[in-house]
Structure 1
Amino acid sequence: MDTDSLNIVVTVARLGSFANAARALDADPSSVSRTVASVEAALGLRLFQRTTRRLTVTEEGEAYLRRIGPLLEEFDLAREEARRIRDEPSGTLRFTASVAFAHECVVPHLGEFRERYPALAVELHPTDANLDLIAAGMDLAVRLAAAPQGDLVSTRLARTRYRVVASPDYVDSYGPFTDPRQLENCDCLRFALPDFRTRWRFRRAGEETVEVPVSGGVLISNALALRRAALDGLGPALLPDWLIRRHLDEGRLVDLFPDRECAATDFDTGAWALYPSRSFLPQKVRVAIDFLREKLRPDSGAIPGNTDCPAP
């Protein structure tokens, strides 16, 4: 039996008749009577004594109703609280992103997010591992890739682009760089992902894509550390635009091939929001996605050149 049926039984007991309960519930009296009979049959108890003139609660009915009344109130309160959390940005948002993305594109905006949604607490879990969102109890993840695969729901927050960069001192020593094939003779700084460590891809309008084999004595598994090595003049590195834009603007890094698109895998990559289910999307997840998309707009400066994407 369900709580709706039990609430009908409680209403009948409170109002003293099927007719009164039916009017209060905007239901047919025969439907109310059938529901009560079904509950009694399931319990194996007679909850009401029925006569042509009146309906009274039995002794066992009184005992049963006395126990379930408070429980039904708790069910109603729990349902309302769950709906409030769903509809209002409150509770706790458990959120994961790569270490570098969290450092560069999330943490700088946490203060504003908390000011905007003071009832919403944030648990941020920066990690370069692809967590199982459901097993880890995460509400939301940001992944950096081409279109994500799998069962999770995804929506693109922003487009991303990769650039090959080096420090001005390195360019002075080993440049100028005019052709990506020059990298074959460089001691490159490589990211420790299989697709990033052996070849970089370049293309320019009207020309075929060029794949350049790369090698080097430094292999780094963290994008922030890879950027640091490039800033220190250790060699060229393939890095995402959101991680290096400020350093390019300040002249601390040089874009070696500004007239070419660069990639390790796909030229069309992005920052994607992933979450477990589209059904009953909690408001806390929705406002977080909208906030991140707002901060990653082209005019925000966080990720230049991205395009707006539709809301989930």
Structure 2
Amino acid sequence: MNLNDLTLIQDVARLGSFAAVARQRDVDPSSIGRVVAGIETELGLRLFSRTTRRMELTEAGALYLTRITPLTEELERAREDALAIQTEPRGTLRISASATFGQRVIVPRLADFRTLFPEVAVEGIFSDTIIDLVADRIDLAVRLAPEIAGDYVVSKLMDTRYRVVAAPGYLETAPPLLRPRDLANHRALLFPFREYRSRWLFRDATGAVFDQPVTGDIVLSPAGAIRDAALARLGPALLPDWLIQGDLEAGRLRTCIAGWDVTATTFDTAAWLVFPSRSFVPGKVRAMIDFLKDARVA
């Protein structure tokens, strides 16, 4: 017995005949009778008695109907609420990102998001460790990588590029920093991954790639800490454009070694929106995806 069977019993009691219910549901009247008979057999009691004019509830049927009506109404409300969450932006959205991306890109935009979608609560899980979307009940993740592996739905949020930057106050007293080999004269600010702390890759206008060793005595994590150290005039740093664009525009940081592409791993990287399933994407997830894309975070 399912919800449809229970509401059918209510319809028969309300309309008084199998034929009326059949017309309302656009089915054959005999099918209504078969369903009712099957329900009565399953329950082991007679729900309706036939009079000359209409179907009437038996005493047992009336008692049964009285008890199931609040249940069916609650089930229908639960269904409607679940569908609303599925289609409308409401409920709690659990979003994951790296510590720095979450703090620098997502958090500053939450006020605008809340204004647009006041019925969506946000739980931000910002960490540089890889989080399992399913095990940790993550609705949406932002991952920074050349590509995303795994059985997920992936949509590119933006391309990411890296720059060598330093504070103007540092550059005023430091040796020139115009070409990749000039890094040999500087103590760089380093990220604690082997690819980032030992050499940086440069690509010139012809596409030739050069491997430039780097050294330094300050190793920091997450990337936001390296940015803060660069602002404090502690040395040159390799940082993503989404993190330092405002600093460059305000003159707090300057691009060094201009005219070269630079990276620590690969030149073609991106920020990706990742979520577990394409089927039945909740409205709250679709709202955040569209919001982040419209915000033009790059």
TM-score (normalizing by structure 1): 0.86
Equivalent in the alignment of 1:71: 71
In 2, Cα distance between equivalents of 1:194 and 1:42: 68
In 1, Cα distance between equivalents of 2:5 and 2:257: 70
8 Å CA contact 1:97–1:126 kept in 2: the answer is yes
Equivalent in the alignment of 2:138: 138
Q: Deviations over 1:81-137 (max 9, x none)?
A: 122222222223222222222222222222222222223233333322332233333
8 Å CA contact 1:193–1:221 kept in 2: the answer is no
SS of the residue aligned with 1:197?
helix
8 Å CA contact 1:143–1:273 kept in 2: the answer is yes
The residue identity in structure 1 corresponding to 2:209 is T
In 2, Cα distance between equivalents of 1:218 and 1:39: 75
SS of the residue aligned with 1:136?
coil
Question: 1:44-193, aligned counterparts within 5 Å?
Answer: 44-49=44-49, 55-184=55-184, 186-193=186-193
In 2, Cα distance between equivalents of 1:280 and 1:191: 39
SS of the residue aligned with 1:132?
coil
How many angstroms does 1:284 deviate by? Answer: 1.5
In 1, Cα distance between equivalents of 2:77 and 2:22: 24
8 Å CA contact 2:163–2:241 kept in 1: the answer is yes
In 1, Cα distance between equivalents of 2:81 and 2:176: 63
In 1, Cα distance between equivalents of 2:193 and 2:159: 20
SS of the residue aligned with 1:151?
coil
Equivalent in the alignment of 1:243: 243
Residues matched between the structures, number: 298
- Return 5+ residue gaps in structure 2 as ranges: none
In 1, Cα distance between equivalents of 2:44 and 2:191: 69
- Return 5+ residue gaps in structure 1 as ranges: 297-301, 304-312
Q: Call closer, same or farther: CA 1:67–1:231 in 2, change over 3 Å.
A: same
Equivalent in the alignment of 1:265: 265
Confirm or deny that 1:200 pairs with 2:200.
yes
How many angstroms does 1:54 deviate by? Answer: 5.2
SS of the residue aligned with 2:201?
strand
Superposition CA RMSD, Å: 2.3
Q: Deviations over 1:251-299 (max 9, x none)?
A: 3322122211111222122222222221111112112111111112xxx
Equivalent in the alignment of 2:21: 21
SS of the residue aligned with 2:155?
strand
The residue identity in structure 2 corresponding to 1:115 is T
In 1, Cα distance between equivalents of 2:294 and 2:193: 30
Structure 1: 4+ residue segments shifted above 6 A: none
In 1, Cα distance between equivalents of 2:202 and 2:93: 39
Confirm or deny that 1:293 pairs with 2:282.
no
In 1, Cα distance between equivalents of 2:227 and 2:237: 8
In 2, Cα distance between equivalents of 1:44 and 1:55: 19
In 1, Cα distance between equivalents of 2:198 and 2:65: 72
How many angstroms does 1:53 deviate by? Answer: 7.0
Q: Deviations over 1:191-241 (max 9, x none)?
A: 123432333221123132222233322221211111111122222211001
